[in-house]
Structure 1
């Protein structure tokens, strides 16, 4: 049985002098947790560097794992739609996830998303902090509970926090210019919702808050 103590976290694989290409290459070698065993590849963030706005989700999905890019599946397409409706150019945004490998369970021939556990999220933290230092965003949108809890701890709740500008926590890494965060629902939850139109409008409203913070 896999134990947390069997894995050191991602730190040993993070380059000392990172850039985009080094990060994408290094994440393929990461053995910081057990998720690399079943995933096709590690999926680093993508977008302009630096970028004023950074979006952080949970983990790669099935299509992201296959293509090696974040937010390229159905949830990503919905996210781009929401960004456009909020007056934000998707091409100007850096997108990433707190976990860099796809966690799933098999159901016949399908791979079904399975949320990462807390120690796997914690193991991936060095990748996220390195991306933040490289991208230097002014605003970070945390998409979903896993992303929010990775930054603010287990007490974070999307419903209570969403749409409210919040300072970056001092205890999480030493960033030269800590960003302001805005929480929202993950676009995959909007896709699954029975009230999709209302939940999409709420996601757009949260993204408008992020846009307004940028001035």
Structure 2
């Protein structure tokens, strides 16, 4: 599958989100980390901010819900018009129903797993999703160091997805940089969330081009 780069506005200036979106016209997605200070120890954006951002950019939004009770809240993000909504398996009580509601509302449905969560127990859910997100840091904060221990899980997930026809994207999120993206791509990831590596760069758009070119070497 083609390499896709999804820069995370968690690393952007929260007072200038529209400008942050405009800085990356070559992004495939704009990654929005929705955190509630319950599921993870941080508080970021909610649906009103997402709705405003939708009006400010034509880049599709990739909303990653790091929240308690995603079954209640996730469908509203899809109904608002975002391109992709990802829920955490650790937080969802009715993941099949919620994933189907996301799809029914017109968005791609994603399922996220924390670093310590094995992928194999959720193999039966792969037919309900469009993207599998493997966290490569503990969720909650940007700027963390990449966890190499997740690389074998990326390989196992790639094998599971390929065994089903390879229609599901495999996204990695956390510590993705010029130094780590090639390892992730070699393990089988094809969608890359990059926060600090993009928005801490002098030229965010050029940083995306560089990350894409590095991943495409694999």
Q: Normalising by the residue count of structure 2, what TM-score does the alignment of the two structures yield?
A: 0.30
Q: Which has the higher strand share?
A: 2
